[in-house]
Structure 1
Amino acid sequence: MSQSHDERDRRWAALDKTMAEHDLDALVFAANDYRGHKGSLRYVADYNLCHKYGNAVLLRGREPSLVLSGSLVSARKPASGWVSDYRFPQTTAAGLVEALKESDRLEKVGIIGMGQVLKVNEYLALTEAFPGCAFVDFTKEFEKVRAVKSPYELAGAEESAYILDQCFHRLLEIARVGITEREIAAEMHRVGHLHGGEDPIFLSMHTDAQNEHSQSTFDSPRDRVLGTHDVHTFSFEMIGPRGYWTELARMVTFAVPDDVTTRMARSVADGIGDGAGAMVPGATPGDIQRTVLAGVERHGASTSYWSGHSLGLDVIEDPMIGLDVVEDPEQSGDNVIEEGMVVTLHPMVQDDGGRGSGYMSDTFIVESSGSRKLSEHPTGLHRIARGEVSIHDH
């Protein structure tokens, strides 16, 4: 049996176990092609949804069925080797009903993606077809199942981190005064895809004094030309061949940075470094957020945003780092950091005097002794001059 199929069997066993613990007869996985809403489908069936929407149905002790949009029937060939039951019904709502009818008992069904992903017509079709069945949101419980990664999954995270490192290495080779963000983006996509990457998210950020809400402006790369004294932050997120996300962002400039820029870069770097030091098994996400904030605030900066999150087959997974501190106290729950989690830290900082901002990100694997950064690139402001790169991180 291949390593991939060992991983498949491990996941299916974990899902069967959690269904038994919660007295569920089936799980319904709702997905669409947004990059944060399709990882559950890949988790259960190793199917990377390329377009539109799709679902999976897992009955207790059975192989899952993929219930996909009829428009995807031609996408059957390059899909998963994990499952054999592909269905392309006239509507996914009807397909879900038919798949659940095959259960020997249907009293309680967990839905992953019920609040944000499952379509209203699908939910209505299910409740109408099975009026005696309780359909419950099982998203949070599923997040707990997939939060700790197996060695196979950790290798997938290392794989995508390697790809992002090659992208950023190429950026440092080509970035120069006068180049456009779009030209850099084209090269980053080329390098990423050549190394086996897929589904890239590439954002460009910069300090914009005209932005009335925040000095930090970010968007997909446009025709903005890089200038001598500007600070540019390029943020990369991409999956590798196994489907696992990592994230990497750095600040880049050309001229000698001024005091505010240098201080903002140190603020971000210290926030990430201190947070990584606190990211040990047993720590809470709130503990890490407060440690990040302490590192940021030493340099006359602040952040009102949560500072990171787990990631895996979806670009954002639980636990969230700091959501309970800055936004939603009820999110704290019983979340703790565990060995085998993959976590990105990405504080967005602003100068207390309103003169600048900063952002960087790094992805870490939590190990028994602490966290291990996946990128080989130093966490700090990269200055490119005379063809050489220097790091302003201390």
Structure 2
Amino acid sequence: MSLSLNERDRRWNALNKAMAEHGIDALVFAANDYRGHKGSLRYVADYNLAHRSGNAVMYHGEEPFLVLPGNLSAARRPTSGWVSDYRFTPTIAQGLVDAFARRPDVDRVGVIGLEHVMKVGEYLALTRSCPDVEFVDFSREFERIRAVKSDEEIAGAEESAYILDQCLARLLEIARPGAVEREIAAEMYKIGHQLGGEDALFLTMYTEGCGPDTAATFGAPRDRVLGTHNVHTFSFEITGPAGYWTELSRMVTFARADAEVERMARAAARGIARGAGGMRPGATPASVQQQVLDAVEAEGATSSYWSGHSLGLDVLEHPMIGLDVVEDGGQSHDGTLEAGFVVTLHPMVKDENAGVSGYMADTFVIDESGSRKLSEYPTGLYRISRGEVFINEY
């Protein structure tokens, strides 16, 4: 699914404006085929990198071009309707060097993904071959540009959220005591891909340890067999046909949950609700994080994880909601939320004394009046019994 040329022009105009404001002559978009590291290429060129790594180069006021590994030259998928210049090179490093060797008018280049994505060898090749060019990290400026989603982009996120809702519907049909995590995940993957989803990221989690060692063990579904009294907590993230990520997570039980599990579910759900209530234009990520924590702590739980983040063509985009609780020194709290942001809230809560934990996630669109949840499913603890689904909403 390709977005319109109007959307292309909107993005290119925003990028050109940012280049002019920061004295940048050209941009390099570094990407690789990994969740969270290829969205910039799709943003500038509507090109969905399916293998290895790739880059786009955009000179101020000019159409971008793609610099891709030579072995992708035989691959006719995926292609882009936005750009016409594909440069397949023996190495990405040489392709980037050649791109700038013919442009003596370039003095300052912004690199998107310089710190986390661009390969060291490619950076060294550029700096050694172009000693008079200043290469600077332009990632944060790029994040500010792409954080505000257009109507077309929000429609892409809504489509992804629809797919996840259908996956949850399938889980509620088949989850039962005696089912294996892999079995459930396989059915959800099937539904997701049948509806046009890609790059699925499915995690399951459950509580292990006690006291200070209490933690939610999470990872890809394995051979764990669900028992009558187990809590099946899943987190599913996927891109829809337009490439936009959303996330959905719920806690599912079979026998009635005990009071401690109920409390963790209530803490996670109320944390999401309180945070969502504070997400409106002008609010800071720090204020949203504090509202999530206030609701969680009111249930006698603590947050063992950051509470959320923006997402779009990458699964992790800025701003981050509470990243400073584990890393980043508070840098994630710069700026304010704006209409057009798409944000997922996902508090991971625990009570060390009781040896319990909980997790849920919902994705929201922020508009002028506040936030709007994309999933049609209530946020709460789900119980499956006698072929029926009972939901404890909080």
Distance in 1 (CA, whole Å) between partners of 2:47 and 2:57 is: 13
Is the partner of 2:230 in helix, strand or coil?
Answer: coil
Q: Report the 3-state secondary structure (helix = DSSP H, G, I; strand = E; otherwise coil) of the residue aligned with 1:88.
A: strand
User: Counterparts in 2 of 1:331-342, with a 5 A limit?
Assistant: 331-332=331-332, 334-342=334-342
Q: How many residues align?
A: 393
In the alignment, is the contact (CA less than 8 A) between 2:214 and 2:356 conserved in 1?
no
Deviations 1:300-350 (A, max 9, x none): 100142100000000000000012455434414632110000000000000
| 1:219 alignment partner AA | G
1:272-312 Cα shifts (integer Å, max 9, x gaps): 00000000110000000000001101111001421000000
Distance 2:333 2:265 in 1: 33
- 1:349 to 1:343, Cα distance in 2 relative to 1, 3 A: same
For 1:297, the aligned partner's letter is E
Determine the C-alpha separation between the residues in 2 that align with 1:104 and 1:281. 43
Q: Residue deviations 1:18-43, cap 9 Å, x none? A: 01111111000111111110000000
- Contact 1:286–1:324 (Cα < 8 Å) also in 2: no
Distance change in 2, residues 1:203/1:333 (3 Å): closer
Please report how far the alpha carbon of residue 115 of structure 1 lies from its aligned counterpart in structure 2 after TM superposition.
Answer: 0.6
**What does the per-residue CA deviation read over 1:169-189, in whole Å, with 9 as the maximum and x for residues that have no partner?**
110011111110101111111
When structure 1 is superposed on structure 2, of 324-333 and 230-239 the one drifting more is: 324-333
How far residue 51 of structure 1 moved from its aligned partner, in angstroms, is 1.2
- Report the CA distance shift for 1:69/1:211 in structure 2 as closer, same or farther (over 3 A): farther
Match in the other structure for 1:146: 146
- Structure 1: give runs of 5+ residues left out of the alignment: none
Give the fraction of aligned pairs with identical amino acids, expressed as a percent.
65
AA in 2 matched with 1:235 = S
- Counterpart of 1:359 in structure 2 is 359
Distance 1:219 1:369, change over 3 A: same
Moved more, 309-318 or 4-13: 4-13
Task: Give unmatched runs, 5+ long, in structure 2.
Answer: none
| Offset from partner CA, 1:141-182 (integer Å, 9 cap, x none) | 100010100001000000100000000011001111111010
Report the AA paired with residue 364 of structure 2: F
Give, in whole Å, the separation in 1 of the partners of 2:212 and 2:332.
Answer: 32
Secondary structure of the equivalent of 2:171? helix
Deviations 1:100-127 (A, max 9, x none): 2343611100000001111111011111
Matched, 1:189 2:198: no
What's 1:8 paired with? 8
> What displacement does 1:368 show?
0.5
| In structure 1, C-alpha distance between the alignment counterparts of 2:51 and 2:88, rounded to whole Å | 14
Report 1:261-272 matches (<5 A): 261-272=261-272
Q: Tell me the distance in 2 between the aligned counterparts of 1:77 and 1:260.
A: 50
Superposition RMSD in Å:
1.5
User: Quick one: distance in 1 between partners of 2:330 and 2:207?
Assistant: 33
Quick one: which amino acid aligns to residue 349 of structure 1?
Answer: V
2:100 is aligned to 100
Partner of 2:25: 25
Contact 1:348 1:359 in 2 (8 A): yes
| TM-score (structure 1 length as normaliser) | 0.97
Quick one: distance in 2 between partners of 1:352 and 1:122? Answer: 46
State the alpha-carbon separation in 2 of the partners of residues 251 and 211 from structure 1.
Answer: 22
| 1-structure distance, mates of 2:210, 2:70 | 47
Deviates more, 1:297-306 or 1:146-155: 297-306
Query: Under a length normalisation based on structure 2, what TM-score does the superposition of the two structures give?
Result: 0.97
SS at 2:336 equivalent: coil
User: Matched residues in 1 for 2:213 and 2:7: separation?
Assistant: 45
- Alignment partner, residue 390 of structure 1: 390
